Structure 1
């Protein structure tokens, strides 16, 4: 009896142990019982809405043209040694020759630059030219893949506030991110290098974050209308105010960077005094520190500040009837006019004002 009882207990243990194993493997049907809920059947989605289909098609067509750019820059370390830092941004394919456009600040001072297109491997690229005044730069891929897909170029001249725009880039290193928004405002000004401003800048509420810089801003037809360049935010992340360099300017600057390595720089042949010094002196307008010989400014009779006598000379206070209070406003008006255009300056000397006509030239020619 004792052996039989022991055998029976062992058998029970084996059965219970087997049930425990089954319960762990399949908790919803432990020991053959259905105790849990089964997955619900999937409801058929049907076709996407027409506007959804259009956005999906836009992304699928445009994303392979968007570049993920990484850089290596050598910086001075905390204790004097050299340290290699890495950066990231966005760009886009300009042509089938392997030129890639991005922001100047994305690749500034970079020792090495790598470009990744679509799902491919990083390709080393070399700088072709840069224009810090426009925050634009052009790279050339050292190895040009087959079937490159340049972004179709649109126009920024006929943009309207309220139309839909799309940004594709690599915010925070997250590749091929699509965001959607509107043209929030037009004709903004974006400060860049050497007290210059880019005129005609597009403002958008499409989410633009660090890493989006240099990526394309597209219209609903998938055409390039701007190059995402900056955000205005106290936190460093998107707050619904982003800025893009207008494509009409990009389409003028980029060919010059490819052909000559630099972009035309509109001017009249003057060297202005630092805006900080002018502001501290309580002066409104552009104070001339020097006037170059043989320049349009010299031909117009403009007189610079005289450090020996303290004479202020001529102060430019208007361009083509628009008041000029700062150097950046003056530069922006020359940009609008363009090289070889003639502008009318309002100039103040002492208590008197006069009008002079001056030709805008390329200071780099």
Structure 2
């Protein structure tokens, strides 16, 4: 095989990886438009300096969306446009400005969701960003992981730490969109670029995102009365080999990312990274499924939780 033929094959493999990843996540990527309150200036109200624009992605088929906190900061109204063209008003579930993560929710369900990665990133690894730079909807750019664990001083904001640095092109409007691996799994949220630099982009790693989701879930749970398991989690795709070995038809489960102390989950010795796949024999694919099934119970009643640990199916009975 000639050098030209080898180079052509390598380029084909690269192109196919980027294309497949973009097609896989595309239906779950959203455009976010916001309206901000009029700001008082010299005794009168003047319009804000342009409407806000950003990106995000659906991580729960019940209409929950991840984006950057700065995208929706001080928003009076938030609108989300799906890949199929439908547009919804969105509510802010919660945000953490220190790590620049926010969760939105829209009034829709049975939505396509982005698969979340589980493998650690490596420097030099291919990554792909999908978003809406400058309002150019569903734009795809690709590059590599340039460095991990970066710290970035953002003007007018707090120092951001533990960021993924890439040479993937990230422009205004990309913020909040997914950073993907070559399999189309989300490994981070694109968050910042250096205005005077070229080839430098930064993203929030998935572990940080999981921590924020667990914290927000804990705050919401504190306001909910009735039965509770005491966990926070997120939807993850199930390993294909594990699915085949266990005869599972469902493609996803709920990974536990947080267990609150002195709760039924802790007493039942559930652990972080366990993947709940059923409650009382009914399928659990994401947090909304588990919440719906647990809320059928009264405090003091029992529930049977089926979960995966180390690729093996386990079951535990918890007193709620």
Fold shared, TM-score > 0.5 on shorter chain = yes
How much does 1:260 deviate? 1.8
Counterpart-to-counterpart distance in 2, 1:133 and 1:94: 21
2:43 alignment counterpart: 80
Counterpart-to-counterpart distance in 1, 2:187 and 2:113: 14
Counterpart-to-counterpart distance in 1, 2:20 and 2:147: 26
Q: Is 187-196 or 68-77 further displaced after alignment?
A: 187-196
1:173/1:214 CA distance change after superposition, 3 Å: same
How much does 1:100 deviate? 0.6
How much does 1:197 deviate? 3.6
Counterpart-to-counterpart distance in 1, 2:215 and 2:22: 29
Where relative contact order (Cα < 8 A, 6+ residues apart) is larger, the structure is 2
Q: Secondary structure at the match of 2:168?
A: coil
Q: Secondary structure at the match of 1:111?
A: strand
Q: Secondary structure at the match of 2:104?
A: strand
How much does 1:145 deviate? 4.3
How much does 1:194 deviate? 9.8
How much does 1:239 deviate? 1.4
How much does 1:130 deviate? 0.9
Q: Secondary structure at the match of 2:174?
A: coil
2:145 alignment counterpart: 183
Q: Is 161-170 or 250-259 further displaced after alignment?
A: 250-259
Matched, 1:219 2:175: no
Q: Assess if the C-alpha contact under 8 Å between 1:155 and 1:248 holds in 2.
A: no
1:62 alignment counterpart: 25
Matched, 1:118 2:77: no
How much does 1:51 deviate? 3.4
1:261/1:129 CA distance change after superposition, 3 Å: farther
Q: Assess if the C-alpha contact under 8 Å between 2:21 and 2:180 holds in 1.
A: no
Counterpart-to-counterpart distance in 2, 1:261 and 1:88: 27
1:346 alignment counterpart: none
1:215/1:195 CA distance change after superposition, 3 Å: closer
Deviations 1:164-192 (A, max 9, x none): 00000000010100000010111101346
Q: Secondary structure at the match of 1:49?
A: helix
Q: Assess if the C-alpha contact under 8 Å between 1:137 and 1:257 holds in 2.
A: no
2:299 alignment counterpart: none
2:14 alignment counterpart: 51
Counterpart-to-counterpart distance in 2, 1:192 and 1:257: 24
Q: Assess if the C-alpha contact under 8 Å between 1:128 and 1:258 holds in 2.
A: no
Q: Assess if the C-alpha contact under 8 Å between 1:138 and 1:258 holds in 2.
A: no
User: Which of 195, 200, 212 is the matching residue for 2:162?
Assistant: 200
2:108 alignment counterpart: 144
TM-score for both structures, normalised by structure 2:
0.61
TM-score for both structures, normalised by structure 1:
0.54
Alignment gaps of 5+ in structure 1 = 1-47, 263-339, 341-365
1:84/1:128 CA distance change after superposition, 3 Å: farther
Q: Assess if the C-alpha contact under 8 Å between 1:72 and 1:84 holds in 2.
A: no
Alignment of 1:301-340 (within 5 A): none
Q: What stretches of structure 1 move > 6 A for 4+ residues in a row?
A: 192-195
2:265 alignment counterpart: none
1:150/1:193 CA distance change after superposition, 3 Å: farther
Q: Assess if the C-alpha contact under 8 Å between 2:129 and 2:178 holds in 1.
A: yes
Q: Assess if the C-alpha contact under 8 Å between 1:133 and 1:192 holds in 2.
A: no
Matched, 1:90 2:55: yes
Give the structure with the higher percent strand.
2
How much does 1:121 deviate? 2.4
How much does 1:253 deviate? 0.8
1:102 alignment counterpart: 67
Alignment gaps of 5+ in structure 2 = 1-10, 222-260, 262-320
Q: Assess if the C-alpha contact under 8 Å between 2:18 and 2:128 holds in 1.
A: no
How much does 1:97 deviate? 1.5
Deviations 1:317-362 (A, max 9, x none): xxxxxxxxxxxxxxxxxxxxxxx9xxxxxxxxxxxxxxxxxxxxxx
